Structure 1
Amino acid sequence: MGLHSCLGAPSADHGQPSHEQAPAPAPVARRRPTLAHPHVDMGPLSSPAIPDGMYFASNFLTGVGMLIIQPATGKVVVVYDPDVEAWFFPKGRKDMGESLTDAALREAYEESGYRVSLMPLPTPTRAPTVPGDSREFPGRRLNTEPIYVSTYFWEKSRHRREPGIYFTFWFVGEIPEDAEHHEDTGMENEKHYITHLLDFDEAASKLDGVNLQVLDVGYQLWQHKVKALSQSVSEAAT
């Protein structure tokens, strides 16, 4: 069962609503060996389940990442690090006392140079709805919850006294057509990053792994929203 099955009709197209439909995202693939665990299938859009457990503060990190879409053009923000020739979405660690959403918006600005707003999407989140929500369908299904959580296991080394797991919560944000790009917004080791606004196909050709999966699924959620809201307006006019 893929994203369309989770959301139901209408199906989503990549690019602007009139663009050709792109293939459904491929199942998540592991990029390197990780801790062994029983294989329990969670569906084509997720990795296998991991065992129940607990992690002490020194054995985990909480991070955030952001797919940024420009709805007016259908383009996405992709950051390039020329030092290591890597393409990626803004991402980083949550500061102490900072909420996940505030951290995501901060990282998006620091690494991309754009002021970003969270994009409401029909994400099939497990979070409960707010009591008293009176919005009509499909608006009541829209939320700004993270679309993915990714994990990264690091081993003990001379730089890390203990092994641990990095949990990253992935959000989707948006910028307006006239968004202003700000220079020199990143940390000292990020100031050489170069920000690009790319169409879907070009972005997909430069990304891989977690970033590519976030692009595939986040973009489809956006297109599903565009089509659903358009149909709702058309039905209301008839």
Structure 2
Amino acid sequence: AGKSVYLRQVGLIVLMAQIGSFVAAKDAKIGLVDRIFTRVGASDNISAGESTFLVEMQEAANILNNATDKSLILLDEIGRGTSTFDGISIAWAITEYIHENPLVAAKTLFATHYHELNEMADLFPRIKNYKVEVREYDDKIIFLHKVNSGRADHSYGIQVAQMAGLPRFVTNRAKEILTNLESKELTPYEIKKEKLKKLAGVEMNQISLFEFQDDKIRQEIGDLEIDQLTPIEALNKLSELKKKVKQDEKQ
């Protein structure tokens, strides 16, 4: 839709204005910046054995460690080189750091497909959402090349793939899978609870802890705060309870 081009355009205009060059606009009011930091594309560094994601994180670290409140930061798709939840967490934390750290607090443009980050505009006073306008028509998309305030609630990756010429079977199947995933989408907290439920339901050598008549073990189970346990801690606790049950059976 043009987000990356928009970021590059802003960086170029600020640079051109600051050196006294022509600016491609009817008029412009642009403040001075001490540096322009960009993270708008990365590739792996084969000779150094560095993955694309590692290179991306190194660039992000350089920005966060050197930017000031007079800098301009342009970030494009931070966190996309890892799992979805890891990427969202990193992108959120970086945005929060720039906003909250008074030594940074730089003017920042951050383009992302993580719609969860839209919520930050409701939580932080200086964060604003903007979107690139798109119109859907007859199962196709039309890029309007306009940027307006507001939040984008979904992406158009499948439509773009269709425009690029992917076989119709692939794009149709992708739509089916997307619908299925969206209907079953869980938050990280819900995923954790689901895992713990499965762990709690595992039969340990056909021993049922809840059928065993032992008030101490029942009390211990009742006192467990499931929401505070990691999956590994839950497994360790189940193993501990299993040993206690076996010991009581031998007595």
TM-score, normalised to structure 2, is 0.23
**If each structure's helix is expressed as a fraction of its own residues, which one has the higher value?**
2
The structure showing larger relative contact order (alpha-carbon pairs under 8 Å, at least 6 residues apart) is 1
